[in-house]
Structure 1
Amino acid sequence: MLYISTVCHDFKCKTQSSAFGFVQYILCLFSHISREEPHSVLEKLLLLVQPDRFRMAKTFIKTQGLSADSVAELVSNAVVQGLLAATQELQSGESRGQESLIQLIRLCEDPNIVGLKLLENLNSVPLRDLNSIVELLIVAHSCFSLTCNMEGIVRVLQAARHLSHTYLAPGEHYSLLVRLLTGIGRYNEMTYIFDLLHQNHCFEMLLRKKSSSLKTSLLDYIKRCLPADSEKHNMVALCFSMRREIGENHEIAARTQLKMIESQDWGEQSKIKLVNPDLKNSLVKVLGLLKDAAESFSKDSCVHQAGRCVRAAKLITLQLHLLNQGSNLRIINLKPAEMHSAILALPQCYQVFVVAEAYSYSPDWAEILYQKVALKGHFAYLEELKCHRPLTSALFEDIFRKLDSIPSSVCSNVKRLLNHCDDVYTRYRLAYQQNLYDVTKTLLQDNKTSSYMNDRLASKAFI
């Protein structure tokens, strides 16, 4: 009755009806309990279908004062018998079955003892029953992991390696190799199973396991041991819907291809493009990789990475356009010291934006407009720039600082350039500094600007 009282207290039977129901259930076994050995009673408790059998068993162990060693012996025997009877059910890996197994192990105060006894029982399992041996190693690992017993874990890993190389791989038991790997779950310490599956063309079997830690380890293994096998990398990443990793792989491949182009002489490559299409083909390949990378990144909401690939793809597209136009100008693989001269050599404004965005470079627009508009009179370039960014007074002041003295050949360009400055006072001041008195006279006489200029000149000293 003390046992019944303890169980009722542990199960928190708060109402008379629930307490009565539980006592009624226990009393049917009481006559057996009073006559049998405690170990036999505990074994029968564990065989019950009752959901609370583990709590009942734990209370019984506590009440009877059973030793950890005796409980471990019983638990290990129960595990071995259960494995021999129904290995396939354990292989299903249902979370409820794993939960029950952990509860069973925790009946013993020291799960290490259970793990050690399971390892001792390995020799009693016939080699024809490899399923049970694999499951025993998995359960033993669980026992040692509960208490972080590294010595026990190492013993399990050594036994697993021996089993894999001696019996599982030679016997082509590849599904058991996968089960051993995923059951123990120490992927970094068990990469030899990755090797065995890869060597025997069964690597795809791992892709059926939807484990986040497994997918990460698989990709790390491929990057480290199979760096050239991009097809396998993408297959693994696609199987686990790892779009970001696919994008990274495509982007790395594109960057590698660009490095290969950089290692060759650009002048020679571009000169022979009409008879040797290798350069163009290489750039088309890079473009395809960058497009695929951007698509994969966007599917995984990696906006920053997708944008980076899009900008790089625009750069490659522009390079192909320049080559097709017969230009020898190189805009890929630019070093910082090469940026300014390359940008000045670009004929159109939008092309500068493409290059600047690809390299996160801030162009010196004052220098560019000075060279292209003030000196060369390319006002179409200026009109195109106005569509993308405002022409501020500060920008015009920076341009005119570069004009120490205006050659007569570009005087008309400078006057026309000044007309694009919206700030009338800045326009007047810059014209005055460059001795463009016809411009200042016009501003003072024009009905639209004269009143404003007279007020400004009267209100402050002119500098």
Structure 2
Amino acid sequence: TLCADPTQLGRALLEAALNLEQNNEWPVAVELLIFSHSSFTLACDVENIGQILSQARCFIDKLLLDQQWILITRLTTGIQRYTEMSYVFELLKEHDQFEYLLRKGMDRLPLLRQALLDFLRPNCLENRELFRLVALHFHMHAEVAGMWQDEANGLLKPIVDLALPMLRTGPEMKKVLTSAMHNLAHAAEYFLQAGRLNHANKCALQAELVALQIHLVNRAIDGHQIYCILGLNSAQAEIISRGYGFNISWGKALMRHYIINGGTEYLERFVRRHTVTPAIVEEVVTDFEQESGLCKKQEILDRLSRLVSMLTDAEAKYRLASRLNLRHLVSELLSSSALPYLKDTAWGKKANQDL
């Protein structure tokens, strides 16, 4: 090794960096400061790490005078203490030099990816295009989709809150609804790229609903009032769907309102009007398996367990509980009077193995 004591090595590198800085040999000075920080980090030397951060600030102030953006970003990404050095993000943003953080290879820095996201979320309200640019560069499709969805909901919420049950038509209303529809379509596209199929489907369906509202607005005379369909509850939506001969996908509805959003009241209303069938629960389970990020959430699994437990078909309940690895439900079935029946079904072999 170059030096057995990382603290001693860090001090030597820091001293060399300061000497080179005085001679304006910035590229080498920056690299030595980065290596000095690495040495102090290896030694868990908090005091000297603080000194490095202070010196980095001095370096950046001087580099800023010469607009040495490449060296500024190199020093920032080399030290990788983005919380302490978030001022660099602000400097780059103020000077319209944020693209230096989007150069080739930057997307392979996971800490930078999260740091930029944390910085831009509260600071990009006036520059949402910058957020989209950064998010797409770092393949944060779900985050971009969420932003489009939030924009759409922000446009629609005042309409739903103020217009129910009637909506006053006019050019401005058409403009707002059209913007919301386009935002939802964009959200669906990006959720699809992120593999969030249920979210994509939800946004696509919302976009279709807004499109229908636009159609109704276009048919009305400006200034007249029409019924607002954007805030329909489940019972009202069901009446309309039956009237027009549409089939509702109750599995997707339960997935969205109960499994994901935790709408216990929605489930209770559904149970009062409908039977929880194996086909419905199977659709929910299939959607759950396709939705990345949900499998490890205990509250989601608890809701799935409750839904599966509502089945009266023992074979379907056993099959879906096994598929979801709901061991407590499987154990209950194997210790219940349903065991002889399970042994006679196609799942009997597996039931015998579980005993």
The TM-score with structure 1 as length reference comes to 0.50
Query: Which residue among 172, 187, 206 is the counterpart of 1:278?
Result: 172
Deviation at 1:263, TM superposition (A): 5.0
2:50 is aligned with 1:154: yes
2:223 is aligned with 1:223: no
Aligned to 2:39: 143
Aligned to 1:200: 95
Q: Secondary structure at the match of 1:328?
A: strand
Aligned to 1:288: 182
333 and 115 in structure 1: CA distance in 2 versus 1, 3 angstrom threshold: farther
* Distance in 1, Cα, partners of 2:86 & 2:272: 59
Deviation at 1:357, TM superposition (A): 3.9
Deviation at 1:155, TM superposition (A): 1.1
Q: Secondary structure at the match of 2:84?
A: helix
Query: Which residue among 53, 77, 102 is the counterpart of 1:182?
Result: 77
* Correspondences of 1:250-399 after superposition (within 5 Å): 250-266=148-164, 270-271=167-168, 273=169, 276-324=170-218, 326=220, 328-333=226-231, 339-341=234-236, 344=239, 348-349=243-244, 353=248, 357=253, 360=257
- Are the aligned partners of 2:165 and 2:227 in contact in 1 as well (CA < 8 Å)? no
Deviation at 1:163, TM superposition (A): 1.7
* Distance in 1, Cα, partners of 2:142 & 2:237: 33
Unaligned runs of 5+ in 2: 258-265, 275-279, 281-355
- Are the aligned partners of 2:163 and 2:228 in contact in 1 as well (CA < 8 Å)? no
Name the count of aligned residue pairs. 257
For the aligned residue pairs, the C-alpha RMSD in angstroms reads: 3.2
Q: Note the alpha carbon deviations across 1:419-463, whole angstroms, 9 max, x for none.
A: xxxxxxxxxxxxxxxxxxxxxxxxxxxxxxxxxxxxxxxxxxxxx
367 and 173 in structure 1: CA distance in 2 versus 1, 3 angstrom threshold: closer
Deviation at 1:110, TM superposition (A): 1.5
Q: Note the alpha carbon deviations across 1:310-345, whole angstroms, 9 max, x for none.
A: 2222322232334345572223245xxx55456546
- Are the aligned partners of 1:287 and 1:317 in contact in 2 as well (CA < 8 Å)? yes
* Distance in 2, Cα, partners of 1:107 & 1:137: 16
- Are the aligned partners of 1:111 and 1:144 in contact in 2 as well (CA < 8 Å)? yes
Q: Note the alpha carbon deviations across 1:96-129, whole angstroms, 9 max, x for none.
A: xxxxxxxxxx432210111122223344223421
* Distance in 1, Cα, partners of 2:245 & 2:185: 21
* Distance in 2, Cα, partners of 1:256 & 1:285: 11
- Are the aligned partners of 1:330 and 1:342 in contact in 2 as well (CA < 8 Å)? no
Deviation at 1:288, TM superposition (A): 0.8
Query: Which residue among 242, 247, 263 is the counterpart of 2:145?
Result: 247
* Distance in 1, Cα, partners of 2:2 & 2:95: 41
* Distance in 2, Cα, partners of 1:305 & 1:150: 44
Deviation at 1:216, TM superposition (A): 2.1
2:9 is aligned with 1:114: yes
Q: Note the alpha carbon deviations across 1:121-151, whole angstroms, 9 max, x for none.
A: 3442234212222112101111011122222
Structure number, greater radius of gyration: 1
Q: Secondary structure at the match of 2:86?
A: helix
* Distance in 2, Cα, partners of 1:229 & 1:188: 21
Q: Secondary structure at the match of 1:246?
A: helix
Deviation at 1:265, TM superposition (A): 4.0
- Are the aligned partners of 2:184 and 2:204 in contact in 1 as well (CA < 8 Å)? yes
- One-letter amino acid matched to 1:134: V
- One-letter amino acid matched to 2:79: I
Deviation at 1:228, TM superposition (A): 3.5
- One-letter amino acid matched to 1:223: R
**Higher RCO, 1 or 2 (CA under 8 Å, sep at least 6)?**
2
* Correspondences of 1:391-410 after superposition (within 5 Å): none
- Are the aligned partners of 1:247 and 1:292 in contact in 2 as well (CA < 8 Å)? yes
351 and 357 in structure 1: CA distance in 2 versus 1, 3 angstrom threshold: farther
- Are the aligned partners of 2:17 and 2:30 in contact in 1 as well (CA < 8 Å)? no
